[in-house]
Homo-oligomer: A and B are copies of this chain.
C-alpha cells in the first residue's frame, strides 16, 4: 500500500513565501480583481519558484469549478468502433479538438461512455456528474437530442454543448454545415459535367440525414437538374448502401455520379460498382460524406466531405468555458463549415 500522499506545495506555502494571505494567492490564481499588480507579481513569482499547481480536487471542494469537462459518447457504438478497428477516428478527433482546447484553459477533458438505450442512462449520468462534478458536458449523437439527458443537465445547472444538433433548447447547439457540405459535393460533380447525380441518404431518425438531402436537392434544382429517381435511402450500414446503390444503378436513368451519406455506404457503392464492371471514376464518380481514414486507402481514394469534428469540439469546449467565466455566448446554433477533399473517385463526365 503506497504512503498517504498529500500535496507537496499548497496555497499555504505560496502565501507564506510571498508573505500574503491565502486569499490573495487564491485571487491571483483565479485572476480575480482587487489585487495590486505588485502583489500579483510577488505571488506569481512564489508560485513559479515553488512550482505550485492548485489541486483540482481542493478547488472543487472549495465550491468552485472542477476544471473538468466530460465528453459523453455512446458506449455501444464507441466500443464497437474500437473493437472493429476499421479506422473510425471520431473519438480521436474529438480529443484532438477537445483536449487541446481544454488544456489551453487549464481544463481537462474526460471521455465517458454511456448507454443510450439503457433505462438506467439517468443513473449513469447522475453517477458521472456526482463523482466528477464536471463544469461542462459535451453531448455527441445520439445523446445530443436526448431530452432525458439535457433536462438532467439543465436541472443540475451544468453547462453543456450538443454536437450535431440544431434544435433550440438548453445548452449550446453546434453542428457541421451538413447542408452546405452536400451542396459543395453536388456542385463539385455538376462542375465536372455530371447531370444525373444520385444521392444515398441516411436514416430519418438522424436529423442530419435530412439536411444532407436538402443540400443536394437545392444544388440540383439551382442547376436546373432533376432529382427524380436519383434518391435512395440507406441506414448508414454497408448492407443498406449496397441495396441503395443497386436501386440507383438499376434505374433507367442511372446516375453517372453518386454521393453517399457516409463512408460505409460509399464503400458499399464502390464494391457494387466494381462487381458490375463499372470503373470508378471513369464510369461512375463517387463521393463519400465521411472522411474516415479508410476512404483514403481504398482504390481509388474517395473524394469526401471532411467533417471538422475537431473544430466543432474545440468550439464546444470554448463555449462551455466562456459560460463558466461569465463571458457572453452566442444564442443561436454554431455552424462549422465542412470541406471537400477531392481525390481520385470523381472525374469529368465522359
Number of chain copies forming the complex: 2
Whether, in the assembled complex, A37 has its beta carbon less than 8 Å from a beta carbon of chain B, the answer is no
Pick the contact of A57 from B1, B4, B86, B133 — CB < 8 Å? B133
The docked-state distance in angstroms from the alpha carbon of A61 to that of B81 is 37
In A303-329, the 8 Å CB interface with B consists of 310, 323-324, 326
By the criterion CB–CB under 8 Å, are A157 and B126 in contact?
A: no
**Chain A 62-95 interface mask (CB, 8 Å, partner B; 1/0):** 0100110000000000010111011101011101
B82 engages A5 (CB within 8 Å) = no
Chain B CB within 8 A of A130 CB: yes
Give the complex CA separation of A273 and B86 in angstroms. 25
Q: Is the CB of A79 within 8 A of B96?
A: yes
Q: Do A158 and B2 touch (CB < 8 A)?
A: yes
CB atoms of A56 and B99 under 8 A apart = no
CB closest residue in chain B, given A91: B92
Judge if A145 is at the interface, Cβ distance under 8 Å.
no
| Nearest opposing residue in chain B for A108, CB measure | B110
Q: Which of B9, B95, B326 contacts A82 (CB 8 A)?
A: B95
Contact of A130 among B53, B133, B310 (CB under 8 A): B53
Provide the bound-state CA to CA distance between A122 and B111, in Å.
Answer: 25
Interface positions, chain A 33-64, Cβ under 8 Å from B, are 51-58, 60-61, 63
Q: How far is it, in angstroms, between the C-alpha of A3 and the C-alpha of B158 when the chains are bound?
A: 9
Name the CB-closest residue of B to A89.
B85
Q: How big is chain A's contact interface, by range? A: 35 or more
Task: Give the residue among A2, A63, A96 with the most B Cβ atoms within 10 A.
Answer: A2
A294 partner residues in chain B, CB cutoff 8 A = 87, 293, 297
B residues within 8 A CB of A95? 82, 91, 111
| A5-B133, A108-B110 known; A61-B57 Cβ under 8 A | yes
Assess whether B297 is in contact with A87, with CB atoms less than 8 Å apart: yes
**Min distance, Cβ A289 to any Cβ of chain B, angstroms:** 16
From the candidates B1, B57, B92, name the one contacting A66 in the complex (CB within 8 A): B57
Residues of A at under 8 Å CB distance from B?
1-9, 51-58, 60-61, 63, 66-67, 79, 81-83, 85-87, 89, 91-93, 95-96, 99-100, 103, 108, 110-111, 113, 123, 126-127, 130-133, 156-159, 291-294, 296-299, 310, 323-324, 326
Known: A56-B131, A83-B96. 15 other contacts (CB 8 A): A1-B326, A2-B324, A4-B63, A8-B130, A57-B66, A79-B100, A82-B310, A87-B87, A91-B92, A91-B95, A99-B113, A108-B110, A108-B132, A293-B294, A294-B297
A-B contact pairs, 30 of them (CB 8 A): A1-B323, A2-B157, A2-B159, A4-B63, A5-B133, A5-B158, A6-B63, A7-B133, A53-B126, A53-B131, A54-B131, A55-B60, A55-B131, A55-B133, A57-B58, A57-B60, A57-B61, A57-B133, A81-B92, A82-B93, A85-B89, A85-B93, A85-B292, A87-B89, A89-B89, A91-B95, A99-B111, A99-B113, A293-B294, A297-B298
